A and B are shown apart, each in its own frame.
Chain A
Amino acid sequence: MSVFMDLNLSFTAERSRLKSLIETAAHLGFSTVAINYVFEPATKKKQEIPIPTPIKELIDELPVVQGRYRPIRVLNRLTVVMSDSSHFRPNAAEYRCFDLLSVQPTTEKLFHAACMIYDVDIICISVTEKLPFFFKRAPVNRAVDRGVVFEVSYSAAIRDSTRRRYTIANAVSLMESCKGKNVILSSAAEKPLELRGPYDITNLGLLFGLSDRDAKEAVSSTCRSVVLHAETRKSASGIMYTMKTCSESSSQQEAPPADSGEAPAAKRAKHHLTD
């Protein structure tokens, strides 16, 4: 198992709220979090992809994770809510500022395309409505092979009882197809009260149909493999890694190679440890 991560904290323009969100996550024991910028091209025309605010501007000093000595690591993530295939532009330059890239498909065709072709890290499963389609084994297995993970977020379940039903129903239907592999559980929290500790989320995973071991991996090892997958997405098959040296991008907190920087960045991220 690796360190606990919560890869979906909703971005909010209120600095104090975001700061208390990150502090609560550090207090609960999460070593890595990702601030999620949601982009919905369908709602407004001519909406531009948000540029992530550098972490240093959001919060002056990163809080130390409870019980450890290292400060919490904060990544940037973009979620594109797709209702049409033109909404996601592969290899768009704006995507490079983000450490993690995810899509939320709303139709079966888009889900199929996201699993098979799109170069993303995370596919979000909608929790606010009953899914209009069923998960087929073929695209799910292809996504698992490529290292793409499926995300179920739980804070909607905390806010509303109808959404609780949808969350559990959609999650259970996903687990039937993917057998509990390549799943991450995250919060999508907007307020600090909507965050839960990693062991609580492990228990919640049991309700979604995951086994004990898969549920714990959903908060730790699978998240680690997503972060590694995202790093390889920026490089050529994970072998060469280029970095802009001009000042505007070096001030952003890019996903640092962290502990894996010295050697395993050269390896293709394995999402499943084999004996």
Chain B
Amino acid sequence: MFGDLERTPRTLLVCDRSSFLDEKNRLSSQVEQLHFNYKVSMLLPECSSAPSHLEAVLNSFNSFYLIRKLPIHELLDKHFLETSVHQGLVSGLSYRTRIDEDNCVALMPNGHLSLSLDKDSFELLGVEGKLSKFNQRTNSRYDLTDSSLAPGGRGYQRLVTGLRSRLQLKTDFLLSHHPGGGASLQALLSRCDWSEHRPEVRSHALTDLFCPLLTSDLQSCDPHHLLEWLGAVDADVSCENSSSSFLSSLVCPEPKTTMSRALSVSVCGLLSPQDVHRLIQQIRCYLEQPRLESWASLTVHGFVDSPVSWGGDEHGVLKGGENFYSLLMFHDHTYHLHLGTGAHDTCPP
């Protein structure tokens, strides 16, 4: 029985290596499938300030709305469905709801509404759903573009009545719209208490740090150690492992070299995959110019409390709810991609 103590909860790490020039590279689909991104952090070696084109892209990330106490049945409003959801212009996620304690809601760009409910709420709702694969909850998906849930139909009516009068689900909601879709949200927003937010950009210049020797072809670095080091740099944790300090024993993986300076930039908010894609293209342009260091890294974190992760698959939290990917790009257009998830997740694409 104590053998269990040696086993930590399962985590999955998928490693992919390819090149942007290869037609069959799946990077764009892998990026697209993680709809709800919370944080993007970049590490640019031998760089003290962000180049102007990268700054421009970061500042042009789409803004998002925070709606307080949104009654979820409003998302099923007929006008909202026709103008926004069916066109695939809007997506959103419940905010400040814990996936392992409360009810969580996600609206995906393809028109699927995902409800992760605890036992009592699901019984109150009174609509067919599916048991969660991981724990004693239900994780149901309703395709709002499907004809069975068309406005006016029985299925639609039952779902709306359930959300409006039986369960009365109200949560804070983060809503984002694709460019050009803003006007269609006005009708919904006018009925709610909302505020608009821009993603927060923070940059941090680092000096004199150890970094692993990274080249595109060599099997230089174990992915776990590399990801640990990237996380330590982003969280500003010292990697010196000096004997007098007990705070951190993280070290830079061997073989290592020193860097006189580096720039760590992070953006937080409700970020769309399209914005992440544009950022990746800009970093590629940045790497094409002759540089001292030939790599740059980008890590994208999904929301811990989102009911869905890649491709709408169920996501949960056992002890940690990480779902993230880390892209290490080289100047010769090759990249290493690491996709990581925690215990209550299916395998990333």
Q: Note whether A and B form a binding pair.
A: yes
A202 and B319 in contact, given A211-B4, A212-B9, A273-B119 (Cβ under 8 angstroms):
yes
CA distance A226 to B1 in the complex (A): 26
Q: Which residues in B have their C-beta under 8 angstroms from that of A212?
A: 9, 318-319, 343
* Interface 0/1 of A209-221, CB less than 8 Å to B: 1011100110011
* Alpha-carbon separation in the docked complex, A207 to B100 (Å): 22
What is the minimal beta-carbon distance from A188 to any residue of chain B, in angstroms? 23
Task: From A1, A67, A207, A263, give the contact of B136 (CB < 8 A).
Answer: A1
- In angstroms, how far is the closest chain A Cβ from the Cβ of B158? 16
Contact indicator B119/A68 (Cβ below 8 Å): no
A103 to chain B minimum Cβ distance, whole angstroms, is: 27
**Complex-state Cα separation, A202 to B136, whole angstroms:** 16
B96 at the interface (CB under 8 A from A): yes
Which of B120-128, B204-212, B256-264 lines the interface with chain A?
B120-128
Query: Which of A2, A4, A213, A216 sits near B119, CB closer than 8 Å?
Result: A2
How many of chain B's residues touch chain A, expressed as a range?
A: 20 to 34
Q: Does B16 contact A (CB under 8 A)?
A: no
State the Cβ distance, A1 to closest chain B Cβ, in Å. Answer: 4
With A67-B98, A212-B9 as contacts: A262 and B4 at CB distance below 8 Å: no
Within 8 A of A (CB), among B1-54: 1-2, 4-5, 9
Bound state CA distance, A79 and B120, in angstroms? 28
Q: How many of A's residues come within 8 Å of B, CB to CB?
A: 31
B118 contacts A1, C-beta separation under 8 Å: yes
In contact, B1 and A213 (Cβ under 8 angstroms): no
B120 in contact with A264 (CB, 8 Å) = yes
A67 close to B1 (CB less than 8 A)? no
Collect the chain B residues with CB atoms within 8 Å of residue A221's CB.
136
CB pair A209–B136 under 8 Å, yes or no, is no
- Cross-interface CB contact of B121 among A1, A31, A175, A259, cutoff 8 Å: A259
Is the CB of A206 closer than 8 A to any CB of chain B? Answer: yes
Contact residues, A219-275 vs B (CB, 8 A): 220-221, 259-260, 262-264, 273, 275
A138 touches B (CB below 8 Å): no
- Cα A40 to Cα B1 in complex, Å, equals 35
Q: Which residue of A lies closest to B96 (CB)?
A: A67
Flag if B1 contacts A209 (CB, 8 Å). yes
Q: Within the assembled complex, what's the spacing in Å between the Cα atoms of A264 and B131?
A: 18
- The reply to whether B101 and A175 contact each other, CB–CB distance below 8 Å, is no
B166 closest partner in A (C-beta): A262
Interface members, chain A 104-159 (any B CB < 8 Å):
none
CB distance from A119 to the nearest CB of B (A): 24
User: CA A213 – CA B319 in complex, angstroms?
Assistant: 10
User: Which residues of chain A are near B319, meaning CB under 8 Å?
Assistant: 199, 202-203, 212, 216
Kindly name the residue among B96, B101, B118 whose own CB sees the greatest number of chain A CB atoms within 10 A.
B101
- B135 interface residue (CB < 8 Å to A): yes
- B120 to chain A: which residues have CB within 8 Å? 2, 259-260, 264
User: Which listed residue (A1, A202, A262) contacts B101, Cβ 8 A?
Assistant: A1
Decide: B318 and A68 in contact? CB cutoff 8 A: no
Quick check: A1 and B5 within 8 Å, CB to CB?
no
CA distance A220 to B120 in the complex (A): 14
**B12 → chain A, closest Cβ, in Å?**
15
Tell whether A42 is near chain B: CB-to-CB under 8 Å: no
Does chain A have a CB within 8 A of B82?
Answer: no
A–B complex contacts, Cβ < 8 Å, 23 sampled:
A1-B100, A1-B135, A1-B136, A2-B101, A3-B102, A67-B96, A68-B98, A172-B1, A176-B1, A206-B4, A206-B5, A212-B318, A212-B343, A213-B135, A213-B318, A216-B100, A216-B318, A220-B100, A259-B120, A259-B124, A262-B124, A264-B119, A264-B120
- Given contacts A2-B120, A68-B98, list 8 more A-B pairs with CB under 8 A: A1-B118, A68-B102, A69-B96, A213-B318, A216-B100, A216-B135, A264-B119, A273-B119
